[in-house]
Structure 1
Amino acid sequence: MNQQPFKNDKLRWVERISKLMDEQFSIKGYRFGLDPILNFIPYLGDLAGFSVSLALIATMLKNGASKKVALKMFGNVLIDTILGAIPVLGFFFDFGFKANSRNIKLLREHYTEGKHTGSIMGIIIGFILIAVVVLGLIAIALYYLFAYLYTLIQNWL
């Protein structure tokens, strides 16, 4: 992170933990942190990464981050956790998608440029719409799966 550290000690702590989770180590110029390494422990690694990220967001909220920026940060963490939990594919995803580093960038933009302020209703509505679409697609897929299984059972009997 090339930018000046935060003046607030608690936010500097957030920045250090974020770096540890996403960019602490380097191999041939590629930076990564503990987050993808923790994925070697199925589910517990994802839970640990999720917990650390939530603690970072909570600290940011206590130190004046807007609800809008916190919601965007939570979205990054949720994407990282859900897609990172997919076996094998999630391991590679965690090397590329650095939720904590993205959240530090959002926080810097919030404090230095005044971005990510205002109402969170647009984001909440967006999340709800995405959830409805995903649940609808899951319901359709389950319907076709059960219809197929029913047909197989009927033909078998």
Structure 2
Amino acid sequence: MSQAPENNLPALRRKARHYALQALYQWEMAKQPLHEIQAQFLTDYDMKHVDTEYFGEMLHEIPANLNELQSEFEPLLDRKLSDLDPIELSLLRMGVWELKHRIDVPYKVVINECVNLAKRFGATDGHRYINSLLDKVAANTRQIEIAAARK
């Protein structure tokens, strides 16, 4: 991880998600090997304020688990998977990966971070779609956490 203080972890991870979204989009569109994309990002971007371990984990784990991740949100879609905007698709994969594999990250943080990225990079109102779908996935994958938050 970057050498920043532990109390800066949320900001480091926010930047990691930002770059992971861009890298996953590049992978989806160009089908470039992941190790090349990772090397490019580590070389071409200022990664001083990025949790580079988290970035690398997302970049490699999400493509390795596509079927598992997509099976969580595909039944909830109102369109075919192939009709999703590539940014929305990458954000859904990222969000579901964090919900399922990073239980150390609160579900509200996962959803909020993906919604904010959708607002910045996605299509008009794409953030609402991301919010709705990830909220439904969270209800299935983080039931105990959600129940505790409602008490």
TM-score (norm 1): 0.30
Which structure has the larger Rg?
A: 1
User: Larger helix proportion, structure 1 or 2?
Assistant: 2
TM-score (norm 2): 0.31
Higher relative contact order (CA 8 A, sep 6+): 2
